[in-house]
Structure formats: C-alpha cells, structure tokens
Amino acid sequence: MNRTFAALGGLIGAAGIAAYAAAAHSASAHMSTIAPILFIHAPAFLALAILAKISRAAYGGGLALLLGLILFIGDLASRDITGDRLFPGAAPAGGTLLILGWLLIAATGFRALDFKR
C-alpha cells in the first residue's frame, strides 16, 4: 500500500468536511464548490493507495490529481480568503490536471497502456 496516498485520502476527506462546514456557516462564495470536489477525491486517493503499487499509470494519475487539486481548490480558496487568485490560469490548469489524472487512472484498466513497475 502507498501510505502517502492513503494519508492524502484522509486529509482530503477531512478538508472536504471542513469545507462543507465553512459553506454552511459562512458567506463563502466558493466553499460549496470546493467541498464536494474534495470529498469525491478522498476515496479516490484511498483506492490509489493500492493501485499505485501495481501501476505507474495510477501513480502518475494520483500525482496529477494532487497537483490539480492544489491548483484548482487553492485558487478558489484563495479567492475567498484573500479576495485574489493564486495566479492567472491556476483554476483552469488545475482542472486540466484533474482530467488528465482521471484519464491516467482509467489507463490502468487497459493492459496495453499500463506501465508495470
């Protein structure tokens, strides 16, 4: 098991619940968008904790998901907290990385595209 991905799954799940609480108890414009995105990705990282040990495609997908979440969620949270973006294009770059990450994970289902260690 990849303990890093397992730990990230727990942390992302906790952040998702915190974002749901923030959305319910504040006038935050983006927390209601952030919360489900985090909460949906938490179990994905728990699954990646197992898949990443047998597939480089899954490992790469997990890294792309992590970077995508940091950029996408970071940009939305930054808008709420500071009133400014992380940097121009951070959210679209993060979204693109999230799509790429999921496609890499999907590649684990195709033996020809799976890069065994």
pLDDT at residue 55 in the model: 84
- pLDDT recorded at residue 113: 55
Name which of 66-75, 88-97, 101-110 the model is least confident about: 101-110
Query: Cα dist. 5→76, 89, 111 in Å?
Result: 23, 26, 23
CA distance 73 to 35: 9
Judge whether 81 and 105 are in contact, CB under 8 Å.
Answer: no
Beta carbons of 67 and 33 less than 8 angstroms apart: no
Q: Which pLDDT belongs to residue 110?
A: 74
Q: 16-73, pLDDT tens digit by residue?
A: 999 999 999 987 889 999 999 999 999 999 999 998 888 888 899 999 999 999 999 9
